[in-house]
Amino acid sequence: MNRKRTGILVGMIGLAFAAQAQMNPKYKFEEALKLIQGNYVDQVNEEHLVDAAIKAMIADLDPHSHYTSREEAEAMRQAMSGSFAGIGIQFLKNADKTYVTMVNPDGPAMRAGVRVGDQIVSIDGESIVGEQFGNKEIMLKLRGDKDVPVALQIVSPGSTAQKDISIVRENILEKSVRESYMVDQEIGYIALSIFNRTTRPEIDAALKKLQEQGMTKLILDLQSNGGGYVESAIGVVDEFLPKDKMVFYSVPNGGGRDYYATGGYGRFYDGALVVLIDESTASSSEIVTGALQDWDRAVVIGRRSFGKGLMQRPVPLSDGSEMQLTGARYYTPSGRSIQKPYSNGKDDYFEDFNRRMQSKELLEEGHVQFPDSLKYTTLNTKRIVYGGGGIMPDRFVPIDTNQYSNWMAQLMNKGIVSKGGFEFVQQNREALLQAYPDFEQFNNRFDVPVELHRQLVDYARSMSIAIPAEEQMAAHAAIDVEFKAQVGSLLYTGGDYMARIRNEANQSFNEALRVLRDDKLYSALLQAGTVGEKLTQKTK
């Protein structure tokens, strides 16, 4: 077909689509796609264009609706299922070598004889020594189909001999309960990292184990928990509130209300409860926190949560891709919508953390202003709580600026602490275990040697990382906490010892202990109202 006839045909198609587009906007999309195909200078990938168009349409709706390709959708489903097929290890790429840094207890790698400190030389006969493979590529090689073996060649510490090990991949649980342990004889601690399909049975098992150890009070840590399945959030609240207590209600696009309540199968209805939140606590975590606060069941400690009160529902497309569309808004039992405004666009919406830092909201109490229209009361003691942009804590704790500093981010992202800790353990494992036979002794007695700290700091500065001057003792103490956490996690198995060490330096955790150890203070906080009551209110 010659160029003139092609142009006439495209024009006729355009006229036909134009007539239809006047009646139905959907034809305008089809018209644009046909005209691009007929007129653009290069050949176009139709699937790529459609994907881009769908993404652009959804991006115009709200900050949380989004489109995922079929590959991304499958990866998300796998992550939320709580398991994947692998061998049960964590590893560290140190220069051109890959070392095992954690082995899941009773996982396939542990049973095959893999231990912390082993170097992985090859996977399925392909050498991974050198710079050709990064962390992602190595992870993908280790993961695969269930019941399919993967062949590793490893070298153990203190040996030069290479050992061939075949490990059959199994479903490896991605734990929702990041850590649970007894802090003292009566206070337990549970940290949730995500709300997935295994969250309810995991937290139920953790509560049972802690109660068998004498727990009568609990810290529930939701710091940096970005949410997940709403059904799992209901299950968590069910552990702490008796039957038929509203967890939240939602208002879908068709109007009306859908109510969600507890089922009465919980383990911990009466003991003192503290919930830890921060500026990254979002979505399902806010459902849990809002319900427990509204029913006066828990003291909330930390900083105002993220403020996500929109519920996304998966809408699958025929090719396996998926749209996550906001189908409803959720409200806490007292009627609060905690969704923060997003009328200024997505970029502005996700700049909220920087605004909170600049306004000093994250540094000092009293910088948030709410109008009276956002004032609500809890359901039992009638404390004042606020909607309109996150859950306000009952007890404010400022952010640790060292942990959120640029220099700390560089220190961690460049692997200086993790690699330094790994090399220290590799060189001193036997001596360390002899001096500190168990984690408790290590945690109570180990201090980072002054010379080792100096070497770490000097090396970081040689990498152009602006470590604060030695006079800023809190900054250097934060470095030692991270280094000690790395060493502890590499020396001992059976728990998230890194989290335990970090907790002892976490101000919110220590404030939770103070509140739980003072029964009068705990009771007073459930009566006196939230931090929000102390704010300077702003009327509109």
10-residue mean pLDDT series, the chain (540 residues): 50 52 68 85 84 84 82 67 75 77 75 82 92 80 88 83 89 84 97 92 97 98 92 97 96 88 96 96 95 97 93 84 88 93 80 88 87 90 90 95 88 86 91 95 96 95 94 95 94 85 96 97 81 40
- Do the strands 299-302 and 395-396 form a parallel or antiparallel pair, or are they unpaired? parallel
Q: Which candidate, 405, 424, 410, places its Cα nearest to that of 461? A: 410
Catalytic residue (one of 204, 278, 294, 394): 294
Could you give the CA distance from residue 69 to residue 75 in angstroms, rounded to a whole number? 10
- Within 113-158, residue ranges assigned H as helices are 135-142
- 525 CB neighbour count, 10 Å cutoff: 21
Q: Which candidate, 248, 202, 237, 524, places its Cα nearest to that of 394? A: 524
Residue 520 falls in the annotated catalytic set: no
- Sheet strands (E) in 45-161: 66-68, 83-86, 89-94, 97-103, 119-123, 126-127, 149-155
Catalytic residue (one of 176, 283, 418, 508): 283
Please report, for residues 287, 288, 521, 525, the alpha-carbon distance to residue 385 in angstroms, rounded to integers and kept in the order given: 14, 15, 19, 13
Answer whether 137's CB lies under 8 Å from 95's CB: no
Please report, for residues 411, 455, 458, 465, the alpha-carbon distance to residue 462 in angstroms, rounded to integers and kept in the order given: 12, 10, 6, 7
Give the CA-trace dihedral at 42, 46, 48, 54, to 10 degrees.
Answer: 130
For residue 538, the model assigns a pLDDT of 37
| DSSP label of 391 | P
Residue 308 falls in the annotated catalytic set: yes
Catalytic residue (one of 93, 217, 245, 308): 308
Angle 323-329-332 (CA atoms, 0-180°, nearest 5)? 140
Please report, for residues 85, 248, 368, 388, 507, the alpha-carbon distance to residue 303 in angstroms, rounded to integers and kept in the order given: 37, 21, 11, 15, 11
Please report, for residues 32, 62, 329, 492, the alpha-carbon distance to residue 57 in angstroms, rounded to integers and kept in the order given: 14, 10, 20, 50
| DSSP label of 468 | P
Could you give the CA distance from residue 102 to residue 155 in angstroms, rounded to a whole number? 16
Could you give the CA distance from residue 81 to residue 173 in angstroms, rounded to a whole number? 9
Residue 209 falls in the annotated catalytic set: no
Could you give the CA distance from residue 529 to residue 533 in angstroms, rounded to a whole number? 6
Count H helices, E strands: the chain? 19, 21
